Structure 1
Amino acid sequence: MTCYLHIGMPKTGTTSTQSFLYVNYELLKKQNFLYPISAKHDHKHDHAHHYFAGCLNWYFKTNDKNSLDKNLKQLQEEIQSSKVQNTIIFSEILPEVCNTLQKVAYLREILCQIGFQKIIVVAYLRNTADMYVSMFSQRLKGFLADNKIKQEMLFSILTPPKDNPKPEIYYNYQQILQHFSEVFGKENMIVRLFDKNEFVQGDLIKDFLSAVGIAWNPEFIIPKNQNETLDLLGIEIARHLYERELPTLENDTTSSKIYEYVSKSLTSKDLALKFMPPKEMYESYLNFYTESNEWVRAEFFPHKQSLFPPKDLNSYKENYQLREMKEEYWERVAQFIADILKDLIEAQNALSARKSASFIQADSAIARVQEELPYKLGEALAQNTKSFWGFVLMPFVLSYIKDRHNAKERIYAQEVANSNAPALPPLSSYPDYEEALKLQRSFVYNLGKALIHYDSKGEAKLSYLSFVGRVLGSIRRNKGMGKQLTHLKNERSE
């Protein structure tokens, strides 16, 4: 079996390539290639094998091998059951996790334990100055999704490379490729340049497929570009948020959702908003790794005069401050806020419905009956016939009550089915059972039952006015109705 180990680098179209491999899972298997599901996180927007890399990192930090062994077992079982000969493992954080020769050697050891006889390392390299610009945006987006990376962000985006050891992990291609070449063998290294002019047919996906030997299939699904770079508007919002103490998010799914908001509303292709750092900072990242890049050129691209095309900095234009706030920019800010509020409101409504659906009061049959649909509808009918506007709004009120009640019932039934909530005991088991029976025989309860009966026959929609007329007549005949409703309302509020 062969493993194609894609190690990035970061900001070389990795998210889009990973999404392509994930959505074309079955078509790739037909070509004897597996992109394993067990090596990735559960949340739907992350298709990288960061879970595998994270388990490895946890072992390096704690010497606790339990999570790693568990993932390796799942990965091995998935590979064996797929019966394919080629597996792609893809995580651009592997160079950071395996940042020493010893750690790279251990990575090879566990891949061999899985059963791979041959391991081929794939790496894409990007111009270091352009990498810096893109990483700046990435760190800011990461901060918006997770406030825990504040200090790391400061070191990695505000400090020139000569004063900052952090970029060694991402930009020192010589160090990274030397470690992986020494462990896996130079003959097993596929090193490509992240440059549209270098890609097969000018396309990153086709270039990667060609590199690993996967034939192009017209049926392949091509996901849209993902993880786009923040523009100046997004950077400005991130800067202001950075200055405030935001709560830390512990839930990966929540962080992923906020990341989605940012990518949707705060990125653009508008050249006027394209972030370009101060020329001095850009040039420092361009020149600092000249020696490292020359080593890579000599080892893997000896036919080239330089690893990356030279940059003409005479025409370089700085653009790192938002100098004008146009009307369309405010629209994007509003959309960013609206997306968050929409999901917050929906989440709150779902939580309220779940709490209400799970309502159980073990010592009160009356409370149970008051939660039944006939009682709710009957009470609403009686209350809304007291005024002209109540009469006008009654159809909408009744429809809302019915829909909300049915939604709660479905949620509760699902919770019971999943053993997340106990089934309700029979009414007869409650000490106030006799009082509850009286409530079920009350005028209000039977009024609701009558409406449900009309609705089931289609009469409530066709003869609504007639039905309400009967309700009004019934209320007049029930002289004690007002007192009964007041008494029941007081009972519910106690």
Structure 2
Amino acid sequence: MDAILHVGVTKTGTTTIQKFLRENCEILGRQGIFVPRSIMFPNDFGQHTGLSAISASRAGNDYATKWLSRALVPAGADRGEGLERLHDLFVQEVRDAGQHRKAIISTEAMSHLGRAEFVEAHGILSRLFDRIKVLIYLRRQDLHAVSLFNSMVRIQLPVLDLFPDPPYPHHDFARMVSDLAESFGRANVEVRLFEPASLEGGDSLGDFRLACGIVDDPSFFIPERQNESLNAKQVAFIHHLQCANGENTLPPMQLRAILDELECEERFMPSRAAAEAYYRQFAAGNALVAREFLGRDGPLFDEDFGMYPESAAIGDFITVEDMARAMIRHLNVERRIRIRKRKAKARN
């Protein structure tokens, strides 16, 4: 049996792809495609976080092991021992699925790791599969940073800078792809671009299915796009809330009620100059990836920056009146919750 290891990167439709794989395991099985369950993160989506966690543990990356093993290893248990037990379950699951011709493993967490973890992942998979193809989608670094900022704001994680200095290590695509090539073999690494003009039908899931040789089936469950972006007012509101409230967060239901009050057609975008300056830091590395892995000279990505405004600040997208309406909505939600609690207490 061969294997396809899909390693992201994040913000390239990975959640939708993983939900598709999770929900269509049986149908894919009839096509001879095996989707492991043992190393899936136990949520509604199905990232194969277990492989990244085991690789990080074996590479001695304690920080990544702690981050990746949450919910995979019971609280209080030894992480290393728990992950080795998970590895044994995975090995047995693969052996029991020997009638399949191909396995698909999807874990974008791998793209945040490095060569030591890639070597460990290769060691794990090469003992189980005849051939391993690594599939990686790359998204232009400035657009990826904007999407990542949006996602972090949505889940109320503190964000210091949209375009950090020094830049995110995982935006060094030349290093990442070269490390994958060193670990798995250059001929086994396929680079694809997360750009509408490069994706089959302009769609990441359709492109992924084509790259993996998945035959269309009318009974497939096709998930809606996951992790849709907030609008500009919503981003600005949460950002201001974080600045004022530190790490204290609002309960999801209350936050959702507030965000519903902030209607806006615009998406938050930083200034064109800031976006382009961030992107240009990676010009040489991107050109190397284009030349070495796509066989062409010139830039790796489309270099149109017309989607950005000439100037922008996060405070430009929300007014004091917007903030007031949102907080009134928040207070009304809290009032209804208190009333329901009092009524429930009175009935008891």
Q: C-alpha offsets along residues 139-189 of structure 1, whole Å, 9 cap, x if unaligned?
A: 2234x1x6xxx4xx32xx3454xx315x122x1110000000111112111
Q: Which has more radius of gyration?
A: 1
Q: 1:67-146 counterparts in 2 under 5 A?
A: 67-82=82-97, 83-97=99-113, 99=114, 101-113=115-127, 115-142=128-155, 144=156
Are residues 323 and 242 of structure 1, via their aligned partners in 2, closer, same or farther at CA, if it must alter by over 3 Å? closer
- Letter in structure 2 aligned against 1:102: A
Are residues 218 and 232 of structure 1, via their aligned partners in 2, closer, same or farther at CA, if it must alter by over 3 Å? same
Are residues 3 and 324 of structure 1, via their aligned partners in 2, closer, same or farther at CA, if it must alter by over 3 Å? same
Are residues 260 and 18 of structure 1, via their aligned partners in 2, closer, same or farther at CA, if it must alter by over 3 Å? farther
d(CA) in 2 for partners of 1:92, 1:267: 33
| Gaps in structure 1 of 5+ consecutive residues | 249-254, 354-396, 405-494
Match of 2:192 in 1: 192
Q: 1:32-431 counterparts in 2 under 5 A?
A: 32-44=32-44, 46-59=45-58, 60-62=60-62, 65-82=80-97, 83-97=99-113, 99=114, 101-113=115-127, 115-142=128-155, 144=156, 150=158, 153-154=159-160, 157-160=161-164, 163-165=165-167, 167-169=168-170, 171-243=171-243, 244-246=245-247, 258=252, 265=259, 270-272=264-266, 274-303=267-296, 305-312=298-305, 316-319=309-312, 320=314, 321-324=316-319, 330=325, 334=329, 338=333
Are residues 58 and 184 of structure 1, via their aligned partners in 2, closer, same or farther at CA, if it must alter by over 3 Å? closer
Deviation at 1:13, TM superposition (A): 0.9
Are residues 230 and 337 of structure 1, via their aligned partners in 2, closer, same or farther at CA, if it must alter by over 3 Å? farther
Deviation at 1:286, TM superposition (A): 1.9
| Alpha-carbon contact 1:12-1:194 (below 8 Å) kept | yes
Superposed CA RMSD: 3.8
| Gaps in structure 2 of 5+ consecutive residues | 66-78
Instruction: Give the SS at the match of 1:218.
Output: coil
| Alpha-carbon contact 1:6-1:89 (below 8 Å) kept | yes
- Letter in structure 1 aligned against 2:94: I
| Alpha-carbon contact 1:35-1:87 (below 8 Å) kept | yes
Instruction: Give the SS at the match of 1:220.
Output: coil
Richer in helix (by share): 1
Deviation at 1:247, TM superposition (A): 5.2
- Letter in structure 1 aligned against 2:132: I
Question: In the comparison of the two structures, how many residue pairs are matched?
Answer: 327
Deviation at 1:329, TM superposition (A): 10
- Letter in structure 2 aligned against 1:286: Y
d(CA) in 1 for partners of 2:89, 2:80: 14
TM-score by length of 2: 0.80
Q: C-alpha offsets along residues 270-320 of structure 1, whole Å, 9 cap, x if unaligned?
A: 542x11113332122221100011001101222464311122459744443
Instruction: Give the SS at the match of 1:65.
Output: helix
Are residues 267 and 43 of structure 1, via their aligned partners in 2, closer, same or farther at CA, if it must alter by over 3 Å? farther
d(CA) in 2 for partners of 1:224, 1:91: 19
| Alpha-carbon contact 1:105-1:183 (below 8 Å) kept | yes
Are residues 81 and 326 of structure 1, via their aligned partners in 2, closer, same or farther at CA, if it must alter by over 3 Å? farther
Match of 1:438 in 2: none
TM-score by length of 1: 0.58
